[in-house]
């Protein structure tokens, strides 16, 4: 009997280091996730709450930046008036009517955007001042772009109709140059009724006449 007890003791002593003890916790399975990971996955995502005070501060900063920009533009215009004695005015006179809807008008002056206006609805009066300022004498290039939608185009869709024209003016010292773009349209848009036909047709024919005249101050 003592021999069996001694042998059993030797076997337990040999197995203890390799098994971590008879009372050791079983090793976690490879697929088990740590408790912290489980808590993070089950945590409820809190909604983002907008801070009214922060929003008010941002609106105030935006207003101040806009006022500063307007002040800079006014200073530059005043400086240009003192430096240059040649003035340029540009107007748009349009007769673009139903079924087309004018959505945007743009003007480039010497390759830079000088005017841009987007219309949520068709402008009732298409007599618009596009530019009025002082420039150095010499050659200047004007480019006009007009965008429109058809009668059945989605309200938020990109305008599918475009017309443009260009004009080169020559400013003189101590003079005023008045440029005018006059637009007239013709044509029928392929509306919903026409689009259902087997051979639908449509078009937008816009004629833009560009001219300028110079008057001495």
Q: Is residue 13 part of a domain?
A: no
Q: Is residue 49 part of a domain?
A: no
pLDDT value at residue 217: 75
Choose among 141, 90, 94, 96: nearest CA to 115.
90
pLDDT value at residue 39: 53
**Mean confidence (pLDDT) of the chain:** 75
137 versus 188: the higher-pLDDT residue is: 137
Distance CA 196, CA 179 (A): 43
Q: Is residue 115 part of a domain?
A: yes
**Residue 68 scores a pLDDT above 90:** no
Using pLDDT thresholds of 50, 70 and 90, give the confidence band for residue 63.
confident
Q: Is residue 56 part of a domain?
A: no
Domain carrying residue 104: 85-216
pLDDT value at residue 20: 47
CATH code: domain of residue 205: 2.60.40
pLDDT value at residue 79: 52
Q: Is residue 52 part of a domain?
A: no
Choose among 83, 87, 105: nearest CA to 163.
105
pLDDT per position as a tens digit, 89-114 = 999 999 887 778 889 999 999 999 99
**Residue 23 C-beta-side C-alpha neighbours within 13 Å:** 0
83 versus 6: the higher-pLDDT residue is: 83
Distance CA 199, CA 59 (A): 53
Q: Is residue 21 part of a domain?
A: no
Q: Is residue 18 part of a domain?
A: no
Q: Is residue 180 part of a domain?
A: yes
Spell out the alpha helix ranges (H) of the chain: 2-19, 35-42, 52-83, 192-195
102: helix, strand or coil: strand
Contacts of 194 (CB under 8 A, 6+ apart): 188, 200, 201, 202
6 versus 117: the higher-pLDDT residue is: 117
pLDDT per position as a tens digit, 168-204 = 999 999 899 999 999 988 766 555 555 566 666 667 7
What's the total number of domains in the chain? 1
Q: Please state whether beta strands 205-216 and 161-171 pair in parallel, antiparallel, or not at all (unpaired).
A: unpaired
Tell me the whole-structure pTM to 2 decimals.
0.59
């Amino acid at each position: 009997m003592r021999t069996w007890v001694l042998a059993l003791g030797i076997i337990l002593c040999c197995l203890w280091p390799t098994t971590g003890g008879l009372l050791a916790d079983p090793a976690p399975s490879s697929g088990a996730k740590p408790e912290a990971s489980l808590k993070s996955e089950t945590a409820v995502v809190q909604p983002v709450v907008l801070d009214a005070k922060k929003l008010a501060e941002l609106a105030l900063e935006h207003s101040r930046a806009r006022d500063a920009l307007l002040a800079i533009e006014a200073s530059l215009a005043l400086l240009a008036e003192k430096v240059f004695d040649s003035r340029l005015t540009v107007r748009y006179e349009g007769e673009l009517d139903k079924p087309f809807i004018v959505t945007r008008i743009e003007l480039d002056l010497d390759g830079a955007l000088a005017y841009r206006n987007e219309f949520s609805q068709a402008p009732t009066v298409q007599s618009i001042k596009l530019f009025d300022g002082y420039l150095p004498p010499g050659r200047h290039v004007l480019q006009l772009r007009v965008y429109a939608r058809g009668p059945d185009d989605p309200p938020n869709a990109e305008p599918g109709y475009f017309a443009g024209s260009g004009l080169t003016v020559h400013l003189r010292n101590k003079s005023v140059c008045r440029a005018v773009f006059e637009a007239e349209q013709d044509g029928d848009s392929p509306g919903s009724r026409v689009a259902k036909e087997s051979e639908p047709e449509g078009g937008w024919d816009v004629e833009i006449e560009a001219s300028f005249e110079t008057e001495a101050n």
